[in-house]
């Protein structure tokens, strides 16, 4: 499905984000040779007369998007029967659905996914059996299943260590072919009591040992945690990212900035909940208030220099694979980040977190020619991101129309 590949390609872009957090540049000339970006310069008057130029001066070009938190084996459906069914679905039945979800991400310009786990390890299975680059040119990183404490939240996306095994031993026994470790260290947000904190799921030393074991194996650890204590423990134990981080507080944000821990604030699931509850209900009001509080934390994080990555939690209730990325980006903008910060969170920061920043995430000389093109200027991108006009992957054009 990728139309390969002319050895040389020259593009004129009306606007250009390099992904690093710099503001959009106007009128940029991008030279590509052998599928690698050769140069990125301002358009000179002579360039317009050059041959073999693709004129995209009505368009913006930016790096491909990264969704740093999805559950590929789960649907965003709000139907309880569907949500129930997907917990027991077998691999043979879900593999086609997962393929379609990957292609939907691709059609939205999302070229890399960081999975948050599923109980049956369907995503891990899919990755190793079916993820070939010709059919699905999307990078997927997955932990297989997540890990939660017995009797605590997380059964549908993870497993708990067996009685005779520690968290560290469980993570190790499971290491085959996984890309990172996922640990769940708190419960969910409450929409009945504002800011209600759940206790940590694991003891500090258990977390620390498991993360250390992961480090020895070259695996990063993502930790689901809301509330001050579960988040503090995760950071002090050496985790690489905090997922959600609702109500974690100023001190934890400061610690994250100091230690370079990434934050994936996952705004859409709470936004979706706010709109799914009856408008006049206490729960809807609580969800809106929770979201506002997360916006305030994002403002503090920005001031402190915490690295934020866009993650949607696609597959949770009301959060749909692919288009959720632009929705999350819009919410980050609403929270007060600039458009270039938001683009950086959805590209450069995600790529760094996934460890794929040599192949995606920024656009500069020497990087593969992998980027998305949409009509209009920088401020219109969030509306247009649902459907980029063109997608280039390693210098070849992905056929958007055929999708
Ligand atoms: Zn999740």
Give the per-residue pLDDT at 402. 47
244-265 average pLDDT score: 98
Question: Ligand 1: distance of its center to the CA of 313 in Å?
Answer: 5
Question: Ligand 1: distance of its center to the CA of 266 in Å?
Answer: 9
Transcribe 248-303 into DSSP letters: --HHHHHHHHHHT-EEE---HHHHHHHHHS-TTSHHHHHHHHHHHHHHHHHHHHHH
pLDDT above 70 for 377: yes
Question: Ligand 1: distance of its center to the CA of 392 in Å?
Answer: 29
Spatial distance between the Cα atoms of 296 and 278, rounded to a whole number of angstroms: 25
Spatial distance between the Cα atoms of 121 and 156, rounded to a whole number of angstroms: 11
Question: Ligand 1: distance of its center to the CA of 366 in Å?
Answer: 34
Question: Ligand 1: distance of its center to the CA of 58 in Å?
Answer: 37
Question: Ligand 1: distance of its center to the CA of 69 in Å?
Answer: 6
219-235 average pLDDT score: 97
Spatial distance between the Cα atoms of 377 and 388, rounded to a whole number of angstroms: 13
Question: Ligand 1: distance of its center to the CA of 15 in Å?
Answer: 34
Question: Ligand 1: distance of its center to the CA of 370 in Å?
Answer: 27
Question: Ligand 1: distance of its center to the CA of 60 in Å?
Answer: 31
Distances (CA, A) of 15 to 34, 184, 186, 390: 23, 41, 42, 15
pLDDT tens-digit series, residues 95-124: 999 999 999 999 999 999 999 999 999 999
* Phi–psi pair at 399, nearest 5 degrees: -80, 95
CATH entry 3.60.15.10 includes domain 2-63+362-398: no
Give the per-residue pLDDT at 262. 98
pLDDT tens-digit series, residues 180-190: 999 999 999 88
Whole-model pTM above 0.85? yes
Question: Ligand 1: distance of its center to the CA of 70 in Å?
Answer: 6
pLDDT above 70 for 47: no
Give which of 131, 145, 137, 227 is closest to 179, Cα–Cα: 145
For residues 351 and 386, which has the higher predicted lDDT (pLDDT)? 351
Of 41-45, 191-195, 316-320, 368-372, which range is least confident? 41-45
Question: Ligand 1: distance of its center to the CA of 315 in Å?
Answer: 8
Give the per-residue pLDDT at 134. 86
CATH entry 3.40.30.10 includes domain 65-354: no
pLDDT tens-digit series, residues 199-212: 999 999 999 999 99
Question: Ligand 1: distance of its center to the CA of 16 in Å?
Answer: 32
What average pLDDT does the chain have?
93
Collapse the DSSP code of 305 into the 3-class scheme (helix H, G, I; strand E, B; otherwise coil) and give the result.
Answer: coil
Of 68-77, 126-135, 299-308, which range is least confident? 126-135
Distant-in-sequence, close-in-space partners of 91: CB < 8 Å, separation ≥ 6: 120, 122, 125, 126
Question: Ligand 1: distance of its center to the CA of 93 in Å?
Answer: 22
Question: Ligand 1: distance of its center to the CA of 316 in Å?
Answer: 7
Question: Ligand 1: distance of its center to the CA of 71 in Å?
Answer: 6
Buried b (16+ CB within 10 A) or exposed e, 156-180: bbbbbbeeeebbbebbbebeeebbb
138-159 average pLDDT score: 94
Residue 308 and residue 265 in contact, taking contact as beta carbons nearer than 8 Å:
yes
Domain boundaries, the chain: 2-63+362-398, 65-354
Question: Ligand 1: distance of its center to the CA of 321 in Å?
Answer: 13
Distant-in-sequence, close-in-space partners of 164: CB < 8 Å, separation ≥ 6: none
How many residues in total does the chain contain? 403
């Amino acid at each position: 499905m990728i139309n390969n590949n002319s050895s040389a390609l020259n593009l004129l872009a009306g606007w250009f984000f390099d992904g690093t957090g710099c503001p959009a540049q106007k009128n940029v000339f991008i030279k590509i040779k052998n599928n690698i970006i050769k140069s990125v310069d301002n358009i000179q008057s002579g360039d317009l007369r050059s041959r073999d130029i693709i004129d995209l001066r009505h368009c913006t070009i930016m790096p491909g998007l990264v969704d740093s938190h999805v559950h590929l084996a789960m649907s965003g459906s709000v139907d309880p029967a569907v949500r129930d069914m997907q917990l027991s679905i077998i691999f043979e039945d879900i593999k086609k659905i997962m393929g379609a979800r990957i292609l939907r991400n691709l059609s939205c310009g999302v070229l890399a996914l960081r999975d948050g786990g599923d109980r049956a390890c369907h995503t891990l299975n899919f990755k190793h059996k079916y993820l070939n680059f010709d059919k699905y040119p999307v990078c997927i990183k997955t932990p297989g299943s997540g890990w939660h404490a017995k009797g605590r939240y997380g059964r549908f996306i993870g497993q708990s260590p067996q009685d005779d095994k520690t968290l560290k031993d469980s993570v190790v026994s499971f290491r085959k072919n996984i890309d990172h470790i996922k640990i769940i260290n708190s419960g969910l947000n409450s929409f009945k009591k504002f800011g209600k904190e759940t206790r940590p799921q694991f003891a500090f030393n258990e977390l620390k040992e498991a993360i250390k074991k992961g480090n020895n194996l070259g695996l990063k650890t993502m930790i689901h945690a809301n509330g001050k204590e579960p988040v503090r423990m995760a950071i002090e134990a050496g985790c690489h990212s905090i997922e959600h981080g609702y109500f974690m507080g100023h001190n934890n944000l400061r610690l994250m900035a100091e230690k370079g821990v990434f934050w994936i604030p996952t705004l859409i699931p709470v936004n979706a909940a706010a709109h799914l509850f009856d408008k006049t209900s206490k729960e809807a009001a609580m969800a809106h208030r929770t979201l506002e509080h997360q916006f305030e934390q994002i403002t503090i994080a920005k001031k402190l220099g915490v690295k934020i990555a866009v993650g949607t939690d696609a597959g949770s209730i009301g959060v749909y694979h692919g288009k959720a990325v632009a929705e999350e980006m819009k919410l980050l903008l609403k929270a007060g980040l600039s458009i270039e910060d938001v683009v950086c969170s959805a590209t450069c920061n995600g790529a760094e977190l996934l460890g794929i920043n040599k192949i995606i995430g920024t656009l500069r000389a020497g990087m593969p020619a992998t980027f998305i093109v949409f009509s209009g200027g920088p401020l219109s991108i969030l509306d247009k991101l649902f459907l980029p006009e063109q997608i280039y992957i390693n210098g070849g054009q992905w056929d958007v129309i055929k999708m």
